[in-house]
Amino acid sequence: MITAAGRTHRAPVERDGPAGAQRSPDMFTDIATARRHAFSLSRSLMVVTFVIAIGQQYGVITAEDADGSVALVAEYDPFA
């Protein structure tokens, strides 16, 4: 971490956003991006992956992590 030698006039920032801002790096707001990531993960790991909807965001999980209580949007099976 780089610190200023004297008093600064800027608010502290964390990862290109204001400190304390809610960020979710594992969630996507664009369905197409979530689908691309799920397909890529499925082919890379050779496991079934799901795109799930949580509110207005989308996430990617493996089939073994799914418990039935999530809203499935898409499924990618590398063996199909």
Asked whether residue 70 is assigned to any structural domain, the reply reads: yes
- The total number of structural domains in the chain stands at 1
Q: Is residue 21 part of a domain?
A: no
| 1 part of a folded domain | no
Asked whether residue 12 carries a pLDDT value surpassing 80, the answer given is no
- Long-range contacts of range 34-40, CB-CB < 8 Å, 24 or more positions apart? 34/58, 34/59, 34/60, 34/73, 35/74, 38/74, 38/76, 39/76
The answer to whether residue 37 sits within a structural domain is yes
Place of tokens 């369905």: 31
Task: Give the tens place of pLDDT for each residue, 36-75.
Answer: 999 999 999 999 999 999 989 999 999 998 888 889 999 9
Indicate the SS3 state at residue 56. Answer: coil
Domain extent, residue 65, equals 26-76
What's the predicted TM-score (pTM) here? Answer: 0.66
- Does residue 9 belong to any structural domain of this protein? no
Question: Considering the domain boundaries, does residue 13 fall inside one?
Answer: no
